[in-house]
Chains A and B, each alone.
Chain A
Amino acid sequence: MAAVSIFYDLADHIAIGLGAILTPANLFYCFLGVLLGQLVGALPGIGVLVAISLLFPFTFHLEPTSALIMLAGIYYGTAYGGSTASILLNVPGQASSAVTCLDGYPMARQGRAGVALFMTTVASFVGASVGILLMMLFSPTIAQNALRFGPWEYFSLMLLGLIAASTMASGAPAKGIAMVILGIVLGLVGIDVNSGVGRFTFDYLPLYDGISLASIVMGLFGVPEVIATIRDVKKESFVTRSISYRSMVPTRDDMSRSWAPMLRGTAIGSFFGALPGAGALVSSFMAYALEKKVARDPSRFGKGAIEGIIAPEAANNAADQTAFIPTMTLGIPGSATMAIVLGVLIIHGVTPGPKLVVDHPDLFWGLVMSFWIGNVILVILNIPLIGMWVKVLSIPYHYLYPVILVFVCTGAFFVENSSFDVVQVLVFAAIGYFMRILGLSAAPLILGFILGPMMEEHLRRALLLSRGDFWLFLERPISATTLALSLAVLIWAFAAYFRSSRAAPKMPAVETES
């Protein structure tokens, strides 16, 4: 009976939501939002935070519902756009799409860019849809459960993430772990929250805020690729096959390989999105690591495995939707971007929180229904665009790479109007190129960069709160389970490594890397 009444309520809510959004103005803002999001997402460098903070003053003049619909549209629209540049150019449009480069770009070089773009659009839509459904049905429950994650649980989760990350790299596990650690150290640069001391800042003021995420991602992923490709292009033709609309159609094999990663990615994304502080970026990397773990033949990864683009894209889109749950129902912003969304509500006199759904049902359900409309618009927008995007590949690379460099550098500059951010791109480009030469992967470094400082912060906070008692990590059930899982992953990784090294005592000395 209860189930039936839930569906009656739901029908009511959908009606309220549709009533709120199906006005010409709101549809216009929804369209404008996702269009801008798609554009900003596809451009390397400039990101969602920049786009949303630029439009923030513009929303003063709008109704709160319209303002929110537009900003939200930009937010989840970028996740669709982000994968495009990753796949076509190996330059991530968004940090959360960096991991999509790993297999998306090899697919493009095999002439399968169309398939990759098509399947990521589908995965994005599936991920987002599940995220929206969760928000419609279980918002209050999810929000209350998210509160059960204290510093102990966060620490255990971050640890699990880092262990998973170190297995992400192709080749020797020691190299992957080393890159994670290097990433953590880079992440520690800046003022330490727990002591107020500036670490590795060398008394240079701009370093007090740490290394810029946009700069490190662009520097390590974008520029070294350009340097290497300028030379390689002369040896072989960049586009190996002619591009037709037919090449967009996934094969039966693609389809059968895709559905499971799509669901796993969605689950990971929905989970991390709902936790304040984790989000799309972490979930996309975790989804990739999981796919590599469960794959029958992990060696396919990094060479154009479709699972390697499906799972992260489903994950980051699901996370972008569920990130609205703590924001809207608890008033807790999970990220800087969500803090701005929250700010818009507050300026319009709307208090986010448990009463929001009751006090402003038109706003809440209007927003939720706008997610559906926005995502459908994005799919409609993206499928025909694939043909156009793929044509980008037929532009000779010597015209393309200066354009990429300009977007990377200006984008890094626009984040905070700081030329020091471009200097960071320069430094990481040099480091990234030598890492490439030495066969050290950038992906685990990025995840270490993000998770490491969070892990340290939570570890020190947990110990501060428990007055130095380590047992609390094992006494709290969620934390204990996660730690057990981390241990299992570690044992699994070592067992697999020893088994493979015994089976093939003469390991190939050089790992092939794209």
Chain B
Amino acid sequence: MQSRDYRDVMSGAALLVLGCAITIYSLFTYPIGSITRMGPGMFPAVLGGILGVLGCVIGIPAWFRSGEMPEIALRQLVIVLLSIGAFTILLEPFGVVPAVTALTVGAVLADDEVSVKGALILVAIMALTTVLLFQKLLGVPFQAFRWPL
């Protein structure tokens, strides 16, 4: 238990900042129009405003009550996101199979449970599944391997 409900204070603050940003960006970038003939900026500007108000509604009362802050699984979060990042980077220049390999290897590292041998088997299974299931059976047109020129 913490003396303040920081979880909701943070949600509220994030929504307030986001809402204000949306409203300000819309007002400065897009025509607003009139109520009867709305421009592209009207809708997002109004929504940003409501979001900001809701941020206050959520955040302010939370300041005055106690609450709990859940733990963040930092290692898992970072590794999983990095693996997906590696997948995206390898995808276009090298093809789907190297990307899948990187993703699988990366994902396995988020946890200590899988042995090297297990990881290799998993990589082989996933590479085969992607090619056989998606390319051969379902006929998704993609390049399994590719060499950037």
Contacts and interface: CB of A to CB of B under 8 A. Distances in A.
A510 B134 contact: no
Nearest to B67: A509
A456 B47 CA distance: 11
Nearest to A463: B36
Contacts of A228: 73, 76
A268 B87 CA distance: 40
A181 B87 contact: no
A55 B15 CA distance: 44
A265 to B, nearest CB: 30
Contacts of B113: 396, 398
Interface residues of A, number: 64
A467 B36 CA distance: 7
Interface string B53-70: 011011000000111101
By secondary structure, the B interface counts as helix
Interface stretch (A85-93, A138-146, A412-420): A412-420
Interface of B: 5, 7-8, 10-11, 14-15, 18, 22, 25-26, 30-31, 35-40, 43-44, 47-48, 50-51, 54-55, 57-58, 65-68, 70, 72-73, 76-77, 80-81, 83-85, 87-88, 91-92, 96, 99-100, 103-104, 107-108, 110-111, 113-114, 118, 122, 126, 129-130, 134, 138-142
Contacts of B67: 509-510
Contacts of B141: 417
B111 A398 contact: yes
A399 B107 contact: no
18 contacts: A40-B138, A50-B140, A175-B11, A175-B58, A192-B40, A200-B44, A227-B77, A228-B73, A399-B118, A405-B103, A405-B104, A409-B103, A410-B130, A417-B142, A426-B81, A460-B38, A463-B38, A510-B68
A185 B26 CA distance: 11
Contacts of B111: 230, 398, 401
A437 to B, nearest CB: 5
Given A172-B58, A405-B83, A410-B100, A181 B70 contact: no
A199 B8 contact: no
A61 B31 CA distance: 51
Contacts of A413: 91, 96, 142
